[in-house]
Amino acid sequence: MTDTDNISGKVVVITGASSGLGEAAARHLSARGAPVVLGARRADRLKALVEELTRAGGKAAAVTTDVTDRAQVQRLVDAAIRSFGRIDVMINNAGLMPQSPLGRLKTAEWDRMIDVNIKGVLYGIAAALPYMERQKSGHFINVSSVAGHKVRAGGAVYAATKHAVRVISEGLRQEVKPYGIRTTVISPGAVDTELPESITEPDVAERTKKMYAEQAISADSFARAVLFAMSQPDDMDVNEILYRPTKQDF
C-alpha cells in the first residue's frame, strides 16, 4: 500500500489482541504497515503473535494487560508512546459473553461483563484520550455488537454492556470535536472466535455454539471493517459499522 492509505504508519493499540477479532485486526493492520501494540492477559499468545508479525516485516509490541485494571491499561497505551512515539488508534475490543437468563443469578458473571466490557472500554478511553487531545488527532474504535442494538432473552446483561459501549462512544464523539479525534463503533453479528467459550451454562453454551457453527463468519470481517473506518480521509468520521453474517437470522 502507499503512504497515503491512512493506515500505513499509524500506531494502533488493540485490547483483546490474543484471539478472535483483535488478533485478526492486528494481522491485517500489521500487513498494511501499521505498528501495533497488543494487550490481553495471555502473554504467551501475544508473544507468539508479535514474533509472527515481526518476522513478516511488521512492527509490533505486546504488554500483558487486564483491562479491568486501569493502571495496566495505562501501561499498555504508554508502551505505544514509548515504542513508537504516538498513538493514532485505540481499539477497545476486549470482551466476554457469559450469557444466561437473569433468573439463574450468575451475579459474578454480570460483574465480570460490566468490568471488562464497560469499564475496560472506559479505561482505554482514559488512557488514550489525553495523548490524542495533545496530538489533536486520533481515532477510537470501540467494539459493540448486534447485541448493542437488540436485546434477546438470555442475553440481557451482555446486551446492556454493548448498549453502554454505543452510548459512551456517542458521548465521546460529541466531546472530542475540538481535537479532530474520530470515533467508530463496530457492531458485529456472529463471528467465529473463542467468544462462546465464555458461556458457563451448558444449555446456553450448546445453543450458542450450534448457532455459531451454522452462521458465524470469519474474524477477517472485523479486520476489514477496521481498515475501512481507518482508511477514510481525516475529514470523514465513520461513526458505526453494524454488520452480520448474511445467514444470521436475528
Ligand X SMILES: NC(=O)c1ccc[n+]([C@@H]2O[C@H](COP(=O)([O-])OP(=O)(O)OC[C@H]3O[C@@H](n4cnc5c(N)ncnc54)[C@H](OP(=O)(O)O)[C@@H]3O)[C@@H](O)[C@H]2O)c1
Q: Which of 165, 169, 186, 174 is nearest to 230 (CA)?
A: 186
Q: Does 16 bind ligand X (CB under 6 A)?
A: yes
Joined together, the cell numbers standing for residue 197 give 467459550
Which runs of E-coded beta strand occur in the chain?
Answer: 12-15, 36-40, 60-64, 89-92, 138-143, 181-188, 240-243
Q: Which of 31, 30, 32, 35 is nearest to 2 (CA)?
A: 32
Q: Which is nearer to ligand X, 70 or 179 (CB)?
A: 70
Amino acid in position 124: G
* Catalytic status, residue 158: yes
Q: Which is nearer to ligand X, 6 or 193 (CB)?
A: 193
* Contact flags string 187-216 toward ligand X, x per CB under 6 A: -x-xx-xxx---------------------
In angstroms, give the least distance from the CB of 66 to ligand X: 4
Q: Does 26 bind ligand X (CB under 6 A)?
A: no
- Whether the Cβ atoms of residue 17 and residue 213 lie closer than 8 Å to each other: no
Q: Does 97 bind ligand X (CB under 6 A)?
A: yes
Bridge partner list, 12: 36, 89
- Binding range to ligand X, per CB under 6 A, among 34-42, 47-55, 167-175, 199-207: 34-42
* Binds ligand X by CB under 6 A, chosen from 5, 31, 33, 66: 66
Q: Does 35 bind ligand X (CB under 6 A)?
A: no
DSSP string, 53-120: HHHTT--EEEEE--TTSHHHHHHHHHHHHHHHS---EEEE---------GGG--HHHHHHHIIIIIIH
Q: Does 172 bind ligand X (CB under 6 A)?
A: no
In angstroms, give the least distance from the CB of 134 to ligand X: 26
Residue 45 parent element (H or E)? helix 43-55
Joined together, the cell numbers standing for residue 2 give 502507499
* Binds ligand X by CB under 6 A, chosen from 145, 169, 184, 221: 145
Q: Does 143 bind ligand X (CB under 6 A)?
A: yes
Could you list the active site residues?
158
Binding site for ligand X (CB under 6 A): 15-22, 40-42, 45, 65-68, 93-97, 116, 143, 145, 188, 190-191, 193-195
